[in-house]
Amino acid sequence: MLKQDSSGYLAGQFLIAMPQMRDPRFERTVVYLCAHSPEGAMGIVINRNFEDLTFPELLEQLEIAPGDDTREIRVQFGGPVEGGRGFVLHSTDYMHESSMVVDDGVALTATVDVLKAISEGTGPKQHLLALGYAGWGAGQLDHEIRENAWLNGPADRDILFDGDLDRKWERAIHKLGIDFTALSAEVGHA
């Protein structure tokens, strides 16, 4: 089990796309940052469905027997990098030797074992399954934040694991105490 260090970087926080974000992959998204360091950043988009695959279909592809409650589990679009690779953000009541603790109570696991556990009903109580991730090279995310492309703030587990994908962006901005209709596209102004 790996633990992120707390060196002032943004791991464990939300990254919220500004209203003027025009990149369709990130427009009105909320990203949970799993890692952020001088080498770059990695996160999971938490408010987009992956339209082309259901959880039972994914289990079938992986030759895992679907459990009774797997129909309701969504597969989400985690980001444009490695779209065929699965990641599970989850509560720390389930841990695997390959799980990485991101922040108090939230971990990331990218093995088939967590999918088996979820299917069997022995997995984490809270989880978000995503294909792909969002990634930034050294200094890239810091530059984008300075250019007013993103807001960042504390993560909220209710928003993170909530199934209401359509409202996560507004709720995350509101959690910061900001009226998104008043946000400016100019650098340094809100």
pLDDT at 183: 63
Cα–Cα distance measured from residue 117 to residue 139, given in angstroms and rounded to the nearest whole number: 37
N residues, the chain: 190
Within-domain flag for 36: yes
Within-domain flag for 169: yes
Within-domain flag for 189: no
Q: Where are the beta strands (DSSP E) in the chain?
A: 2-3, 13-17, 30-37, 40-45, 75-77, 81-91, 100-103, 106-109, 127-136, 150-154
Within-domain flag for 109: no
Over its length of 190 residues, how does the chain's per-residue pLDDT go in tens digits?
Answer: 333 444 558 999 999 999 989 899 999 999 999 999 999 999 999 999 988 888 888 888 888 887 777 777 889 999 999 988 999 999 999 999 999 999 989 999 999 999 999 998 899 999 999 999 999 999 999 999 999 999 999 999 999 999 899 999 999 999 998 877 666 555 444 4
Nearest to 39 by CA among 141, 137, 135: 137
Cα–Cα distance measured from residue 69 to residue 56, given in angstroms and rounded to the nearest whole number: 10
Letter for the amino acid at 100?
M
pLDDT at 69: 73
Within-domain flag for 63: no
CATH code, domain with 23: 3.40.1740.10
Cα–Cα distance measured from residue 172 to residue 25, given in angstroms and rounded to the nearest whole number: 18
The pTM is what?
A: 0.89
pLDDT at 1: 36
Within-domain flag for 118: no
Q: Are 34 and 100 in contact (CB under 8 A)?
A: yes
Q: Can you tell me which residue has the tokens 């809100």?
A: 190
pLDDT at 52: 83
Range of the domain at 17: 2-55+71-87+128-182
Q: How many domains does the chain contain in total?
A: 1
Half-sphere exposure (CA, 13 Å, Cβ side) for 48? 23
